[in-house]
Amino acid sequence: TQLLEQSPQFLSIQEGENLTVYCNSSSVFSSLQWYRQEPGEGPVLLVTVVTGGEVKKLKRLTFQFGDARKDSSLHITAAQPGDTGLYLCAGGSNTDKLIFGTGTRLQVFP
């Protein structure tokens, strides 16, 4: 069974701080997607990474796919209250279903 463990589970920081969220597995994935879910809404796709070692940037967010395609990280620079939400990674493989991670709940205080 493929599992994706995210850490930390909870993160509470002040505006302006930097943070990194991790998504780890013992399995190899063909792709990794990152979603953000705000309270009362469904998850929204942030990015998809498909190549080992790939780095993608989305404004203050930097996503990296591990060289062995078993892990990924999300780094946020100078966090803002608008970054508050649940961050979910999701791995794709040769099956037709995404495997979702355990989630990281981020709270950014002004």
Pairing relation of β-strands 104-109 and 85-92? antiparallel
- Name which position in 28, 45, 58, 68 contacts another protein (CB under 8 A): 45
SS3 62: strand
- Name which position in 13, 22, 24, 31 contacts another protein (CB under 8 A): 31
**Number of residues this chain uses to bind another protein (CB under 8 A):** 27
- Name which position in 12, 15, 18, 41 contacts another protein (CB under 8 A): 41
- Name which position in 28, 44, 68, 78 contacts another protein (CB under 8 A): 44
Q: How many residues would you count in the chain? A: 110
**CA-wise closest residue to 73 among 97, 109, 49:** 49
Range in contact with another protein (rule: CB under 8 A) among 51-59, 62-70, 74-82, 88-96? 88-96
CB of 87 to another protein, least distance (A): 11
Whole-number Å distance between alpha carbons of 97 and 91: 9
Whole-number Å distance between alpha carbons of 72 and 36: 15
28 contributes a contact to another protein by CB under 8 A: no
**CA-wise closest residue to 63 among 54, 79, 52, 74:** 74
Q: Which residues are near another protein by CB under 8 A?
A: 30-31, 33, 35, 40-45, 48, 50, 86, 88, 90, 92-98, 100-103, 105
